[in-house]
Amino acid sequence: MSEPHIPAALIQRLRSARRVAVLTGAGISAESGVPTFREAQTGLWARYNPEELATPEAFRRNPQLVWEWYAWRREQVRQTTPNAGHLALVEMERRIAEFTLITQNVDGLHRRAGSHQILELHGNLFRTKCFNENRPVESWPESTDIPPRCPQCGGLLRPDVVWFGEMLPAGVLRAAEHAAATAQILFSVGTSALVYPAADLPLTALTHGATVVEINPQPTPLSPQATFCLTGAAGVILPALVAQTWGLVA
Ligand code: BJW
């Protein structure tokens, strides 16, 4: 396969950049084998719409169904490993003075790849909290209840992720907005750019004069405004970008 073309002007800007932010979405984990959020689900879950499962209303209506959906997704993610796109971002972090990786993903693959400066906007599949009290819960007594119960208050346990209609963790969102507003370059990688407030971050960067680069095989609502659109898979484009910028072997 031929090496993807990265515009020379982008390589120049990246070489001299001190502050870079990267916003990732489900597409970056696609090449690890994690289905993207909006692609059709498989097997037992094929008849459900993810947008209708990822809400507090769905959990109130049928907590067992929603808990089992997340248990199934946790199991899928456990069987995967980070891919070349995740690893290229680890290399980028090593070379940029102020680097912030903002992810909408709940799969933990950036941390497993070795990235450090990570802001998880939508939480993490592998953490659990109490639905009543919104407090993190690390362990609970064995039981046949699905979902299990909070050991403190007896409420239902839920995954510590952000559902539609819920607030994002305030400190994390503030830090992401600061990174976007101060970045010289912001990359938007593998996201459909449909979900807010994450979808506002590239626009914030543009307003503050940053170069905004989209990496995605498909156009998104961000594409017409991006400074550069690199069309293709993150696992191909990101290693080529890093290799062509810093002369590493892709
Ligand atoms: C590849 C690839 C490869 C494939 N390489 N790329 C302003 C306007 C309108 C609505 C709102 C607004 N502000 C708030 C809202 C409401 C709502 C919202 O945004 N709705 C939209 C759908 C319109 N937002 C919220 O409710 C947020 N809360 C909030 O704003 O609180 C304040 C408030 C409350 C109430 C009212 C108003 C304000 C919370 C959003 C939480 C999102 N949570 C989820 C679920 C997390 C847990 C879970 O995973 O189950 O987060 S939804 C889902 O979408 C998940 C994802 O993180 C997120 C983004 O999806 P992503 O990552 O972009 O994935 P996909 O599947 O959509 O796209 C994959 C992309 O990859 C595609 O483009 C492919 O082409 C590409 N791709 N292979 C590179 N190899």
| Domain definitions of the chain by residue range | 8-34+83-122+168-246, 35-79+125-161
Question: Between residues 52 and 232, which one has the greater pLDDT?
Answer: 232
214: β partners: 188, 229
Pocket of ligand 1 (CB under 6 A): 25-27, 30-31, 36-38, 54, 104, 106, 122, 161-167, 190-192, 194-197, 216-218, 220, 233-235
Which of 29-43, 109-123, 141-155 has the least mean pLDDT?
29-43
pLDDT band at residue 41, thresholds of 50, 70 and 90? confident
Q: For this structure, is 116 an active site residue? A: no
pLDDT for 47 equals: 83
pLDDT band at residue 1, thresholds of 50, 70 and 90? low
At the topology level, CATH places domain 8-34+83-122+168-246 in Rossmann fold (3.40.50)
Torsions phi, psi of 90, nearest 5? -65, -45
Tens of pLDDT, residues 77-92: 999 999 999 999 999 9
Region 169-184: mean pLDDT is: 98
pLDDT for 39 equals: 87
CA of 105 to the centre of ligand 1 (A): 10
Q: 202 pLDDT exceeds 90?
A: yes
Q: 222 pLDDT exceeds 90?
A: yes
Distance (Å, whole) CA 190 – CA 52: 22
pLDDT band at residue 248, thresholds of 50, 70 and 90? low
Q: 250 pLDDT exceeds 70?
A: no
Distance (Å, whole) CA 7 – CA 11: 7
Q: Which single residue is written with the structure tokens 């972090």?
A: 93
Which atom of ligand 1 is closest in space to residue 50's alpha carbon?
A: 50
**Which tokens go with 24?**
């990732």
Region 95-114: mean pLDDT is: 98
Which atom of ligand 1 is closest in space to residue 191's alpha carbon?
A: 63
Nearest partner of 91 among 180, 200, 14, judged by Cα: 14
pLDDT band at residue 161, thresholds of 50, 70 and 90? very high
Question: What is the overall mean pLDDT for the chain?
Answer: 96
CA of 97 to the centre of ligand 1 (A): 29
CA of 162 to the centre of ligand 1 (A): 10
pLDDT for 249 equals: 55
Tell me how crowded residue 213 is: count the other CB atoms within 10 A of its CB: 25
At the topology level, CATH places domain 35-79+125-161 in SIR2/SIRT2 'Small Domain' (3.30.1600)
Tell me how crowded residue 146 is: count the other CB atoms within 10 A of its CB: 13
Region 225-235: mean pLDDT is: 98
